[in-house]
Structure 1
Amino acid sequence: MSRMLLIRILFLSLLLVFPATAQDVLTGGSTTPAEESADPEASSAAVDDLIRILEDDTARAALIERLRQAAPETEGAQAQETVAPDMSIARQLAEYTQSVAEGAATSVRSIGTALSNLQALFSGSISADSTALREFAVNIGLLLLALFGSFFVLRLITNGLGRGIAARATGRGVLARLAALVGVGVIDAASILLAWGLGYILALNFGTTSRGMMGINQSLLLNAFVMVEMIKLVVRMVLMPRFPALRFLPLADTNAAYWSFWSARIISLLGYAFMFVAPMLSGLVSRPAGGAVQVLAMATAVTIGVIITLQNKDDVRDWLAEISAKRDNDGLGRLLATIGRQWHVLVIAYLLALLVVWFANPETALPFMLSATVQSALAILIGSLIVGFISRFVSAGLSLPDDVRQRLPLLETRLKSFVPAVMRVVRWVVIAGVVVAIGQAWALFDFAAWIGSEEGLAVAGSVVSAALIVLAAIVLYVVVASWVEFRLNANFGKVPTSREKTLLNLFKNAFTIALVVFGSMLALAQIGVNIAPLLAGAGVVGLAIGFGAQKLVQDIITGIFIQFENIMNEGDVVAVGSWTGVVEKLTIRSVTIRDLSGTVHLIPFSSVDQVSNMMRGFSYHVAEIGVAYDSDIDVVKAAMQEAFERLMETEHKEDILDELDMQGVTGFGDSAITMRARIKTLPGKQWGVGRRYNEFVKLVFAEKGIEIPYPHVTYVPAAGSGGASKSPPPAGRVEDQREDSAD
């Protein structure tokens, strides 16, 4: 019984809300308009019939079946009603063209309506209170006179103050000029606000309403004044036509004055037309009158823009071509040259598109284009300033102070090789950022939403992490290389030993290789590259190199043991294999030596079976001098000792470590007795000491008459050769040249 009660309530509700639909269902869809307009008694009878149908099981089943049959027909009708509209490109273009045409027609009609309304206003066909109109004109005129008159006087004062500030900042640094620029801007802004405040005081006391109140038109004028003049102030701050000393843009005085003049006119035209004249006419005359003023202002501004563009077509083209030539026509330079040839066409097309879009939809399309234009201009301006600073920094180079250059002689060269490259990368990043900002402003893509998504954050984080790793690797290399350079600088701090020079250079080379490998691997891992195959491939390649280049492996292993044994270092005089010279460079694989003639030899360690170091600990000059057989040995020893004493009176005294080691007679030659003595010296000083000692020995022997024999040949004629025999030549006659002997 409760179920039947629920069904009755449901259908009664249906009848009360949709009585016609219920009746149609009950009668099989044959209800006529006359029946629909029947009296309430018929509706009551229909309710009774419905109740009887619901109480009868057979009738209720038939009703349910009929409702089920009617459901597909209803769904089909609804499906036909909800067919998706045609969204093809052709239809969208047609609809947009239709909206543009309708908007242009509306704008043209508004101009005609506005002109007729203005004519009617001044002819008297439109009813207006002449007294109120006269009072409005007087009040607006007084406000205009007071506002712009006071502003003119204040501008004269601020120009004088600004001229004095600019004169004091002339020739000073960037910070001083920037502070002066800010000061001039603050003074100009104060003059605008002061004139605005005076205008408000005048409007409040002499308005169109009671004292202490002001009219809406006065408020429109004052708000338009402060907004327009503030925008013009920003333009003046950038161009600085009156004070060239405070101008940071690379513009000539004539160009700065030209662009400042036309920018101020266009800003005043659009600002006062849209913010004051058009709203005022909309309230006094009609909305079409205000719209007509806006149309005329926009058309005038676009016309001025086209004229300015055509006037500066050649100048901008030559300027961009000059920039391209300074950049040696690189990628960016060629792009600038291409833009310079067609820039006027792009600007004129943009201005005309701006006008057409404003005609079509001034409520939404124009604000969007203006906002996108301002954002694009700001992005280009900021990007140009940053790129210009980077280009100037790269071209000017990097100069370090003298004390830093003395401590780290190679740091400036190292920085000049890294910093410009990093700055070029930063410059292209800035250019890409400007392009992204322009695309975001014109809704070409939603970069902000993408960068805020999970995927965007992951990509940005990977790129930034890889860039930071590369930058950190560069900084770490510069720091370590500079530290090694400072440690090897003998002019500051502790003088490095030969061992320290060798090990520090080896450490720098090994550190550089390890930093490049690990830095590259970490950077690749950050951007999503799987470095496991790279590591495995490097191991396989290393193994293949190990098998295929056994000499290389032998070089490295021998070099490691040579370094462990510390047999030679940079600056040592060594004999390696068949070569003798000064060690100039020592790596883990080879040694580079320069011989006495200046020839450089690169000797791999695999070919080295013996190393002789002549500069380890101390050295000896071994003096082996031949004297005649009839010489007095004691006299010869005394002469050699005297030569040593003379040597000790020279600058070589600091290089000699001990007394003369006289060893006496060491051999008997064909014509001379060999006398030997040794002089102990500092490492590497034995050659200079020995040469000077030999000079003194020659002088002392000559003074004491000690003969230093040398080989000679005596010619004796054979017996019976015809002619009398000749006596031998006197002793000491030179018959043959002295042969070369060892030093």
Structure 2
Amino acid sequence: MTVRHPWQYVPGLSALLFLSLLMVAPPAMAQTAATPDDYGKLADTLENDASRQALIEQLRGLQAASNPSPLGLEDEVPATEIAADAPSGQTAGQVSLARRMAAATGNMAGDIGRQFAALGALVTGWMGDSSETAAASPAVDWKAVSAALLNLAILVVTTFVLFAVLRTLAGPAFTRLSGWARAGSEKLAILRTTVAVALAAVLDVIVVGLAYLGGTFVAPLLTEQLGADATRLALFLNAFLVVELIKAGLRMFFSSRYEGLRLLPVAADQARYCNGFLAREAGWVGYGMLVLVPVLNFNVSPALGSGVGTLIMLLALVYAAAVILRKKSVLADALGRRAQASAGPLRLVLLLLARTWHWLALAYALLVFAVTVLNPDTALPYVAKATLLTLVYVGLGMLVAVALAQLIGKEVQFSERLNASMPRLQARVNTYIPTGLKVIRALILALVVVLSLDAWHLYDLAAWYATPAGAQVVASLIDILIILALAAAVWVALASLVEHKFSPGEDSSAAQAARGETLLGLFHTTLAITIIIMTAMIVLSEVGVDIGPLIAGAGVLGLAIGFGAQKLVQDVITGVFIQVENAMNTGDFVSVGGNSGTVERVGIRSVALRDLYGTYHIVPFSSVDAVSNFTREYGNHVGEYGIAYRESIDDAIVQLEAAFEALKEGPHKDNILAPMTVAGVTALADSSVNIRVVIKTTPGNQWAVGRAFNRLVKIYFDQAGIEIPFPHTTLYFGEDRDGSAPAARVRLADDRVVSTQGSGDN
């Protein structure tokens, strides 16, 4: 199945691809066929010693002065001619670039005007009756032209009929390849599509080659039987081979009939439009420049051939510009949607490209046309090669990026057994995959840009790489990438091993789970710091930095920090030993440094506690003299219950045991680990006899169990009438100085309060 992404509608790109087709047409416009008179004049020149020597000197001078620029503007417009009439007396080297470009533009316009003027003169000469025009225009043998056209038409029809038949016979193979590419899993879609397209391209080339061979078999028959010109027939066959191979390449990207054989992820109607447009332009430019122009040059007039060639290229330029302007919003919208889904510098680049791509395409089209007119012999092959190489680099880069994205996928799935032993491995790998893909895409983009700039000869990549500095830079870059990849792999492997060692299993207790979480955090931090420092040092050594002074400086700095920050060093060392001894874990209730609370975080230099009031305490390990852990293995509720001296101790113990039995039947039954232990009478206090009991509970639950047991003890003592002593208070109402207001006496009798005062009745 073909993968889709936001660049689904790209018909505007077809115009850019067509501009590259303009490059592959050979410089037929510059071809001029030599006439018999030219041969005679050349022979006369060579026979004369003086003229021959002058010709040799002229050729040597041209060789010494020829130094064409990439676009060939200097050959068209010598700087000496521009500066010849400069009022300021400028030399050729002082002429400004702007004046040279203006002169080149003027010469280009003049060349186009002269070509069309010559073309108009020839047409007027054929159709007019004046003797001067007839003398200036070459005579045309229309009978010979008709016969030549008939012979060429026979070959054209035969070749294209054979090509159509072969394409029809190959149709079922294309259909099966398309179906195979669209079947199967989405993960391998790009690989199947690439293989299917490659096989289809080979089959397409074979069909074109067989049709070409069929045409070469018919051509000699036409030459022998009808006296046809073998050169004209060969021109068509060569043009057929070139144009149809170009169309076969287009079908790899814009296959309209077979969706599975389409490399670019565009819709079927868009592919049909792009393929039709590019095929028409390829046929127009290819057959026109490779067949029509050479025939006109040789058989009619070089001026006519040059003018027709210019007209063909101009019409192709106008058509391409019309498509670019008509489809500019389609590609701009697609780029805009892609930009909205991106972030960072890529988003800005895509937004800028969405607004300016059509201007860039038009400028490139004008550049192609300009170099075609100015200097097709040197500039045109240069631009053609650079354009085709750029398209190849961009296409391969996109193909590799998409293939990697599909092969790796958005998420990696591990087996249940591996996930059970290393529970965070899958999440960690799936976190790093998008980052890795972004890095790979950035490297591919950088490589495409570098190769494209080299294709346009903005610098010589091969020469730069041949230098020691270039080879060293490339080797260092490759080494750094390998080091970073190995560092990431080592981090994933070691972190996963630590998780496998310390991650609690399904049957682990709460204490083991807390210890595992604490040690995981500690080892993860240590591993991360170690790997980052080692990787940074190795990378610095690869880029040529001497890390010896850095290591020595780090040692001196560490020594200075050790003396100046002894508390920090003490914190770290104490924290390491506390973790090794398993003194506390996350979730434990501890008392350290004068603070008590639940451990929320255990770091490498401090511990964070949350007390009962919600206060958050951070206690440095250097201030920890002892660690009191209340949630380790088990807890004890130690309760002391006082009874009055007149009560029976044995009856009180019976009620305590009854309260414990009720406790075991309540909600805390799972938190009680052993029967209650009655330690006995611990003290004969001033107003009570104290009895101690001990209840063993699960760790951390001793306080909850104690509160529940205290409630039950009060209930059972009340039911048994056992007094729990409490302080007694004497009320004194006071009296006057003369004693006339004696204190009130209050007593309880038959649940009624009787009050007497003074010396009244008792």
Output the TM-score relative to the length of structure 2: 0.71
Distance in 1 between residues matched to 2:451 and 2:752, nearest whole Å: 100
**Aligned equivalents of 1:561 and 1:347: distance in 2?**
69
Aligned equivalent of 1:145: 157
Deviation of 1:581 (Å)? 1.9
Q: Decide which of 554, 557, 563 is 1:538's aligned counterpart.
A: 554
Larger radius of gyration: 1
Match of 1:586 in 2: 602
Q: Structure 1 residue 636 and structure 2 residue 652: aligned? A: yes
Contact 1:107–1:359 (CA<8 Å) still a contact in 2? no
Deviations 1:613-653 (A, max 9, x none): 22345432212222232222112223323444455566866
- Structure 2 residue aligned with 1:727: 746
2:363 corresponds to which of 349, 372, 376: 349
1:111–1:187 Cα change, 3 Å:
farther
Q: CA deviation at 1:575?
A: 0.8
Hey, what does 1:524 align to over in structure 2?
540
Q: Give the counterpart of 2:492 among 463, 473, 478.
A: 478
Q: State the distance in 2 between where 1:138 and 1:572 align.
A: 101
Deviations 1:405-430 (A, max 9, x none): 77766556655765544444444433
Q: CA RMSD in A?
A: 4.8
The equivalent of 1:461 in structure 2 is 475
Q: Deviations over 1:416-457 (max 9, x none)?
A: 765544444444433332321221011110123212332211
Farther-moved stretch of structure 1 (436-445 vs 159-168): 159-168
Instruction: Report the counterpart of residue 390 of structure 2 in structure 1.
Output: 376
Please say if residues 309 and 347 of structure 1, whose CA atoms lie closer than 8 Å, have aligned partners that are also in contact.
yes
Whether 1:297 and 2:312 are equivalent positions in the alignment is: yes
Q: In structure 2, what is the equivalent of residue 264 of structure 1? A: 279
Aligned to 2:323: 308
CA distance in 2 between counterparts of 1:472 and 1:289 reads 67
1:356-435 mapped onto 2 (5 Å cutoff): 356-383=370-397, 414=428, 418-435=432-449
Shift in CA distance, 342/503, structure 1 to aligned 2, threshold 3 Å? closer
For the residue of structure 2 that corresponds to 1:666, the secondary structure is: strand
> Aligned partners of 2:475, 2:751: CA distance in 1, in Å?
94
CA distance 1:260–1:678, shift in 2 (3 Å): same
User: Are residues 1:490 and 2:504 paired?
Assistant: yes
Q: CA deviation at 1:692?
A: 4.5
Question: Aligned partners of 1:455 and 1:733: how far apart in 2?
Answer: 112
Inter-CA distance 727–113: structure 2 relative to 1 (3 Å threshold): closer
Give the 3 Å change call, closer, same or farther, for CA 149–172 of structure 1 in structure 2: farther
Q: State the Cα distance separating 1:365 from its structure 2 match.
A: 1.9
Distance 1:333 1:500 in 2: 43
8 Å CA contact retained: 1:113, 1:289: yes
CA–CA distance in structure 1, aligned partners of residues 261 and 729 of structure 2:
95
Q: What's the offset of the Cα at 1:92?
A: 11
Distance 2:490 2:507 in 1: 23
SS of equivalent residue, structure 1 residue 638 = helix
Distance 2:211 2:503 in 1: 71
Q: Which amino acid letter does the alignment assign opposite residue 470 of structure 1?
A: L
Structure 2 match to 1:228 = 243
Cα distance change, pair 341–290 in 1 and its aligned pair in 2 (3 A)? same
2 CA distance for matches of 1:733 and 1:426? 95
Residue of structure 2 aligned with 1:197, choices 197, 206, 210: 210
Q: 1:218 to 1:178 in 2, by over 3 A?
A: farther
**Counterpart code for 2:599:** V
Q: Cα distance, 1:341 vs. partner? A: 4.1
1:238-277 aligned at under 5 Å gives the runs 238-242=253-257, 249=264, 251=266, 255-277=270-292
**Counterparts of 2:478 and 2:632, CA distance in 1:** 52
Q: Distance in 2 between matches of 1:223 and 1:731?
A: 134
2:256/2:275 contact within 8 Å kept: yes
Question: Which amino acid counterpart does residue 537 of structure 1 have in structure 2?
Answer: G
- AA aligned to 2:278 is S
Contact 1:525 1:531 in 2 (8 A): yes
Distance 1:536 1:434, change over 3 A: same
Structure 1 pair 261/115, CA: closer, same or farther in 2 (3 Å)?
Answer: farther
Q: Distance in 1 between matches of 2:420 and 2:751?
A: 61
The equivalent residue for 1:78 is none
Kindly provide the amino acid, as one letter, of the partner of residue 312 in structure 1: K
Distance 1:184 1:420 in 2: 28
Q: Is the 8 A contact 2:674 2:695 kept in 1?
A: yes
Pick closer, same or farther for the CA change 1:612–1:446 going to 2, 3 Å.
Answer: same
Identity score, percent: 34
Please point out which of 578, 584, 590 is paired with 1:568: 584
1:553 alignment partner in structure 2: 569
TM-superposed CA distance for 1:366, in Å, is: 0.9
The residue type equivalent to 1:260 in the other structure is N
Deviations 1:703-737 (A, max 9, x none): 54434344453535557564894432479999xxx
* Stretch of structure 1 that moved more, 456-465 or 377-386: 377-386
Deviations 1:259-305 (A, max 9, x none): 32321122112222344334555565576665555433323322322
Q: Distance in 1 between matches of 2:147 and 2:507?
A: 89
TM normalised by structure 1 equals: 0.72
Comparing 676-685 and 175-184, the one that deviates more: 175-184
Partner Cα distance (2:643, 2:399) in 1: 86
Residue 684 in 1 paired to residue 700 in 2? yes
- Per-residue deviation, residues 292-333 of structure 1 (Å, max 9, x unmatched): 5543332332232233233334544555455445546x4343
**Structure 1 residues 398 and 110, CA, compared in 2 at 3 Å: closer, same or farther?**
same
Taking the aligned partners of 2:440 and 2:193, their CA distance within structure 1 comes to 30
1:143-182 residue CA offsets vs partner (Å, 9 max, x unmatched): 3223333544665777788678768938973645764676
**For residues 656-695 of structure 1, what are the structure 2 equivalents within 5 Å?**
656-695=672-711
Distance in 1, matches of 2:751 and 2:724, equals 11
Once the 2 structures are TM-superposed, how far is the Cα of residue 564 of structure 1 from its aligned partner? 5.2
Q: Is the 8 A contact 1:147 1:195 kept in 2?
A: no
Whether 2:524 is the aligned partner of 1:511: answer: no
SS at match of 1:667: strand
Corresponding residue to 1:715 among 707, 716, 731? 731
Tell me, in whole angstroms, the C-alpha distance in 1 between the residues paired with 2:176 and 2:751.
99
Q: Cα–Cα, structure 1 residues 710 and 387, in superposed 2: closer, same or farther, change >3 Å? A: farther
Q: How far apart are 1:578 and its partner, in Å? A: 2.3
For residue 111 of structure 1, report the CA deviation from its aligned partner: 9.0
Is the Cα–Cα contact under 8 Å of residues 617 and 683 in structure 1 kept in the other structure?
A: yes
Q: For residue 727 of structure 1, give the secondary structure of its aligned residue in structure 2.
A: strand
Distance 1:497 1:415, change over 3 A: closer
AA of the residue aligned to 1:445: Y
Contact 1:282 1:290 in 2 (8 A): yes
Q: Residue 208 and residue 730 in structure 1: after superposition, are their counterparts in 2 closer, same or farther (change >3 A)?
A: farther
Q: 1:567 to 1:338 in 2, by over 3 A?
A: closer
Displacement of 1:513 in angstroms is 1.4
Instruction: Tell me by how many angstroms 1:702 deviates.
Output: 4.6
Larger RCO (alpha carbons 8 Å, 6+ apart): 2
User: Judging changes above 3 Å, is the alpha-carbon distance between structure 1 residues 314 and 473 closer, same or farther for their aligned structure 2 residues?
Assistant: same
Contact preservation (8 Å) 1:103, 1:359: no
How many correspondences in the alignment?
Answer: 650
Instruction: State the AA in 1 paired with 2:161.
Output: G
**Is the contact made by 1:158 and 1:188 (CA closer than 8 Å) also made in structure 2?**
no
Q: Is the 8 A contact 1:573 1:614 kept in 2?
A: yes
Moved more, 529-538 or 639-648: 639-648
Whether the 8 Å contact between 1:221 and 1:276 is mirrored in structure 2 is yes
Unpaired segments ≥5 residues, structure 2: 1-63, 68-79, 81-90, 128-133, 754-762
Q: 1:487 to 1:708 in 2, by over 3 A?
A: farther
